Chain A
Amino acid sequence: MGETITFWVLAVVSVTAALGLVFSRKAVYSALMLGTVMLSLAVLYAVQDAPFLAAVQIIVYTGAVMMLFLFVLMLVGVDSADSLVETIRGQRFWAIVAGLAFAALLGLGVGNAVLAAPKGLEAVTAKGNVPSLAELIFTRYVFAFEVTSALLITAALGAMVLAHRERTAPKPTQKDLSRARFVEYAEHGRNPAPLPGPGTYARHNAIDMPALLPDGSVSSLSVNRVLARREAAEGTLAPEILAALEAEDRETEERRREKSEEPARHHANGANGSGPNGSSSDGAASNGAAGVGHAAPDDAAAPVEESRATAPEKGEEAE
């Protein structure tokens, strides 16, 4: 009875999570859904007299494999969302048809099978589940087990080889980086100094308070665009901050128009991305004059996923 309840609960959870894995637009959600499925399965293993596997499932899959997945996701772009528009004609339709047919076949097979009552593992796990498994692994399956060790070593080596990147240029020194910053300043007027921290000259030390220039005006460099956008949406954005941001946007627009043959792009992103609000500030700036009130993360990430359809934009926006 206990098993039945556990099964039905976990079955519903795992199938829902699996469907979520397939249908969620964001890869991170998919990863979390997969983790859910794996945990549910771990419990089901435990229910079915396989405590060792349940532990391994949690440690290896939910622990190691899922961490790897998330790690790579972060590497590739955590905010990358998958466009659900199908590009291969008929692919989705036929995938679903084939899936249904396969499911029907499997169901037919399982339904047709005549099964006796489960024999249970009590007889073979008299010494306990883990000792019994260990006995089998180190006797009958010892060769396969040794081979898996070779496999794992090979996999580790392979991953190293694949991920390794030969350095084709000498590593930039501090001098090089500094020079590049000033070249950038000379050509595009980019501030070579580190971005000011918020509230440096303010009476507040809250992060939403902008730094003030010596003349008392707001330094747009210190404004966190994400917060500013949210506050603008809420209507709580201080008017002097808004004015400073708009002034900066105008300035950027003018610069861009002057150098129309060379689009004003942020080549040295890393150079001034070290500031506390650099990343999002750049993102807002790169989205042009509209600036505030723009759904930056989604827009910036979408082209990564839709790059097939929008190839020409990729070079600009994926950065």
Chain B
Amino acid sequence: MTTHYLVLSALLFVIGGVGVLVRRNAIVVFMCVELMLNACNLAFVTFARQNGNLDGQIIAFFVMIVAAAEVVIGLAIIVTIFRTRRSASVDDVNLLKY
């Protein structure tokens, strides 16, 4: 059963990763990042049960905390950028280049 969870976790992770790469709406990109984090959490929880200790769950807990903080900051940045550039597209923020 563990393998199934891990494969599911991997699938969700890859879908999230591809989403990060192909979507341009910054908010959707952010959601995809959250999806990847959740996929990792699933793997942690699965391994916690597999190995018979609670450390995996603790780590998943911390990941959630960090993700929450990250979302706060990330969305604040998105709002700030949107306010100045009237756009939520990640491709519009491309001034730092050659």
Contact = CB atoms under 8 A, between A and B. Distances in A.
A191 interface: no
Contact of B12 (A37, A92, A125): A37
Given A76-B82, A82-B25, A103-B11, A68 B49 contact: no
Interface stretch (A13-21, A228-236, A241-249): A13-21
Interface residues of B, number: 72
A69 B27 contact: yes
Contact of B35 (A18, A88, A133, A162): A18
What are the nearest 6 A-B pairs in CB distance?
A119-B52, A95-B21, A155-B69, A22-B19, A106-B10, A162-B76
B8 to A, nearest CB: 5
B58 A133 contact: yes
Contacts of A64: 68
Interface in B46-98: 46, 48-55, 57-58, 60-62, 64-73, 75-80, 82-83, 86-89, 91-92
A118 B10 contact: no
Contacts of A137: 58, 61
A65 B28 contact: no
Contacts of B34: 34, 61, 65
Contacts of B31: 21, 30-31, 34, 69
A41 B38 contact: yes
Interface residues of A, number: 88
Interface of A: 3-4, 7, 11, 14-15, 18-19, 21-22, 27, 30-31, 34, 37-38, 41, 44-45, 48-50, 52-53, 56-57, 60-61, 64-65, 68-69, 72-73, 75-77, 80, 82-83, 86-88, 91-92, 95-96, 98-100, 102-103, 106-107, 110-111, 113, 115, 118-121, 123-125, 132-133, 136-137, 141, 144, 148, 151-152, 154-156, 158-159, 162-163, 165, 304-305, 307-308, 314, 318
Given A38-B38, A155-B69, A61 B16 contact: no
Given A61-B38, A110-B3, A121-B52, A165 B83 contact: yes
A86 B10 contact: no
B61 A75 contact: no
B49 A304 contact: no
A48 to B, nearest CB: 5
Given A44-B42, A99-B21, A120-B49, 19 more contacts: A18-B16, A22-B15, A38-B38, A49-B49, A61-B34, A61-B64, A82-B23, A91-B22, A95-B18, A98-B18, A98-B21, A113-B3, A121-B54, A136-B54, A141-B58, A148-B62, A158-B76, A305-B24, A305-B88
B66 to A, nearest CB: 7
